[in-house]
Amino acid sequence: RKEVEQDPGPFNVPEGATVAFNCTYSNSASQSFFWYRQDCRKEPKLLMSVYSSGNEDGRFTAQLNRASQYISLLIRDSKLSDSATYLCVVSGFQKLVFGTGTRLLVSP
Protein backbone atom coordinates (compact mmCIF):
# COMPACT_ATOMS: atom_id res chain seq x y z
CA ARG A 1 0.00 0.00 0.00
CA LYS A 2 1.33 3.46 -0.90
CA GLU A 3 2.00 5.81 1.98
CA VAL A 4 -0.19 8.51 0.44
CA GLU A 5 -2.84 7.78 -2.18
CA GLN A 6 -4.79 10.16 -4.37
CA ASP A 7 -7.10 9.83 -7.36
CA PRO A 8 -4.96 11.11 -10.25
CA GLY A 9 -7.97 12.57 -12.10
CA PRO A 10 -8.20 14.65 -14.15
CA PHE A 11 -11.21 16.34 -12.67
CA ASN A 12 -12.82 18.45 -15.39
CA VAL A 13 -15.13 21.11 -13.97
CA PRO A 14 -16.70 24.33 -15.30
CA GLU A 15 -15.91 27.69 -13.80
CA GLY A 16 -17.90 28.34 -10.68
CA ALA A 17 -18.22 24.67 -9.76
CA THR A 18 -17.38 23.16 -6.40
CA VAL A 19 -14.91 20.29 -6.48
CA ALA A 20 -13.51 18.05 -3.76
CA PHE A 21 -10.42 15.86 -3.60
CA ASN A 22 -9.67 13.14 -1.10
CA CYS A 23 -6.42 11.59 -0.05
CA THR A 24 -5.72 8.60 2.20
CA TYR A 25 -2.56 7.91 4.16
CA SER A 26 -1.21 4.77 5.76
CA ASN A 27 0.92 6.04 8.66
CA SER A 28 -1.34 6.50 11.66
CA ALA A 29 1.50 8.27 13.49
CA SER A 30 1.57 11.17 10.98
CA GLN A 31 1.24 14.54 12.65
CA SER A 32 1.47 17.12 9.89
CA PHE A 33 -0.68 17.39 6.79
CA PHE A 34 -0.61 19.78 3.87
CA TRP A 35 -2.02 20.46 0.43
CA TYR A 36 0.44 21.66 -2.16
CA ARG A 37 -0.32 22.98 -5.61
CA GLN A 38 1.89 22.27 -8.62
CA ASP A 39 1.45 24.04 -11.93
CA CYS A 40 2.74 22.45 -15.12
CA ARG A 41 6.56 22.50 -15.22
CA LYS A 42 6.75 24.43 -11.95
CA GLU A 43 7.73 23.63 -8.41
CA PRO A 44 5.18 22.57 -5.79
CA LYS A 45 3.95 25.43 -3.61
CA LEU A 46 2.22 25.23 -0.27
CA LEU A 47 -1.51 25.81 -0.62
CA MET A 48 -2.52 25.24 2.97
CA SER A 49 -1.79 23.27 6.08
CA VAL A 50 -4.49 20.90 7.33
CA TYR A 51 -5.52 21.03 10.97
CA SER A 52 -7.52 18.52 12.99
CA SER A 53 -10.37 20.96 13.43
CA GLY A 54 -10.51 21.70 9.73
CA ASN A 55 -9.53 25.03 8.25
CA GLU A 56 -10.59 27.41 5.57
CA ASP A 57 -8.68 29.88 3.41
CA GLY A 58 -10.96 31.84 1.12
CA ARG A 59 -12.51 29.43 -1.35
CA PHE A 60 -10.45 26.50 -0.06
CA THR A 61 -11.42 24.24 2.84
CA ALA A 62 -9.30 21.40 4.18
CA GLN A 63 -10.48 18.64 6.48
CA LEU A 64 -8.66 15.89 8.35
CA ASN A 65 -10.23 12.63 9.49
CA ARG A 66 -7.67 10.84 11.67
CA ALA A 67 -9.91 7.86 12.42
CA SER A 68 -10.28 7.04 8.74
CA GLN A 69 -6.86 8.43 7.82
CA TYR A 70 -7.98 10.71 5.05
CA ILE A 71 -7.65 14.34 4.14
CA SER A 72 -9.90 16.35 1.88
CA LEU A 73 -9.69 19.60 -0.04
CA LEU A 74 -12.80 21.46 -1.15
CA ILE A 75 -12.59 24.24 -3.72
CA ARG A 76 -15.64 26.46 -4.10
CA ASP A 77 -16.41 28.75 -7.03
CA SER A 78 -13.62 27.31 -9.19
CA LYS A 79 -11.57 29.72 -11.27
CA LEU A 80 -9.65 29.04 -14.47
CA SER A 81 -6.51 29.79 -12.49
CA ASP A 82 -7.24 26.88 -10.14
CA SER A 83 -6.23 24.46 -12.92
CA ALA A 84 -3.21 22.63 -11.53
CA THR A 85 -2.19 19.41 -9.82
CA TYR A 86 -3.00 19.23 -6.11
CA LEU A 87 -0.60 17.22 -4.00
CA CYS A 88 -1.57 15.70 -0.68
CA VAL A 89 1.39 15.70 1.72
CA VAL A 90 1.74 13.81 4.99
CA SER A 91 4.56 13.72 7.53
CA GLY A 92 6.51 10.50 7.85
CA PHE A 93 9.59 9.78 9.93
CA GLN A 94 11.69 12.95 9.61
CA LYS A 95 10.29 13.72 6.15
CA LEU A 96 7.22 14.71 4.20
CA VAL A 97 5.67 12.14 1.87
CA PHE A 98 3.90 13.32 -1.26
CA GLY A 99 0.96 11.76 -3.03
CA THR A 100 1.09 11.55 -6.81
CA GLY A 101 -1.37 14.41 -7.10
CA THR A 102 -4.85 15.04 -8.45
CA ARG A 103 -5.09 17.02 -11.64
CA LEU A 104 -7.81 19.67 -11.87
CA LEU A 105 -8.89 21.28 -15.12
CA VAL A 106 -11.30 24.22 -14.88
CA SER A 107 -12.92 25.19 -18.16
CA PRO A 108 -14.81 28.37 -19.19
The binding site for other proteins (CB under 8 A) comprises 30-32, 34, 41-46, 49, 85, 87, 91-92, 94-98, 100-101
Least distance from other proteins to the Cβ atom of residue 8, Å: 9
Nearer to other proteins, 75 or 88 (CB): 88
Least distance from other proteins to the Cβ atom of residue 83, Å: 15
Q: Which residues of 39-68 are buried (b: 16+ CB within 10 A; e: fewer)?
A: eeeeebeebbebeeeeeeeeebbbbbeeee
Q: Is the peptide bond before 14 cis (omega within 30 degrees of 0)?
A: no
Nearer to other proteins, 3 or 22 (CB): 3
Distance CA 42, CA 31 (A): 27
Least distance from other proteins to the Cβ atom of residue 96, Å: 6
Nearer to other proteins, 17 or 92 (CB): 92
Closest CA to 19 of 99, 88, 79: 79
